[in-house]
Amino acid sequence: MSRIAISGLKQMKKRGEKIVMLTAYDYPSARIIDEAGIPVILVGDSLGMVVLGYDSTLPVTMEDMLHHVKAVVRGSTHAHVVADMPFMSYQVSAEEALRNAGRFLQEAGAQSVKLEGGMAIADTVRRLVQTGIRVMGHLGLTPQSINQFGGYKVQGKTPAAAVKLLNDAIALEDAGAYAVVLETIPAALAKLVTERVSIPTIGIGAGPDCDGQVQVFHDLLGLYPNFLPKHAKPYAKLAATITEAVRNYDNEVKSGRFPDSEHSFQVDESIFSELMSPSGV
């Protein structure tokens, strides 16, 4: 089975068919998502927070990302895998961005990369696309700029900010980006951007009118019940289920109920008769 192509995603927008994207950070989650038929998997630098325990995405390195992208690619066969380019992997120069983006395709097996920013990185996006590297954009609340924003706040709330975001989306399209993530912006603005650009928009906290939606795998499954962003909807409560399973295992080991004969390997005890005699071997 071949992977979902960029052309397929563009056709989905034309047909009005919603594009579903989920994050994955390892082999087993990628297998589950791929087998469920999700067309796009994003290996987000959000792994810094949900997998590695950092308080932001900024500490995530190229080596971190390559490690996880490789695992996700191994765990999937059908989904289009997008690799998130981490902080400072593309901001220094177009040449460095090209080198790092190339590593995601050549070493890790991703099909495209994602960059945060608009007009400021349009030339870099154009350079990557001209080299044959597909690029997904990312506008609105861009986590790598969290210190500049002063926190995780809704973006594009003023007329000036809205105009800038729209122009950024158009600049990314003109530079050759095949899609753009719109994160934490007013739903009305996301609808406007979706109507003004021909490339698919993928929303996260951007309302229902984007061409598609992306969510963090761990939020979807309720793995962090004490923290849930406003835009996230848990479709399961696995943290409680997993905690109960771990406690049951703990109790059964301590009480001697596990392992039992069903979970042990048996042979004819006569084989060990000499070992079991008082004199030993």
Radius of gyration, alpha carbons of the chain = 23
159-175 and 122-130 are packed helices; what angle lies between their axes, rounded to 10 degrees? 20
- For residues 117 and 136, the answer to whether their CB atoms sit within 8 Å is no
Place of tokens 């996880």: 68
**CA–CA gap between residue 193 and residue 142 (Å, rounded):** 16
Q: Which long-range contacts (CB under 8 A, 24 or more apart) does 63-71 make?
A: 65/89, 65/104, 65/108, 66/103, 66/104, 66/107, 66/108, 68/25, 68/26, 68/43, 69/43, 69/104, 69/108, 69/109, 69/110, 70/107, 70/108, 70/109, 71/25, 71/26, 71/27, 71/30
Residues with active-site annotation: 183
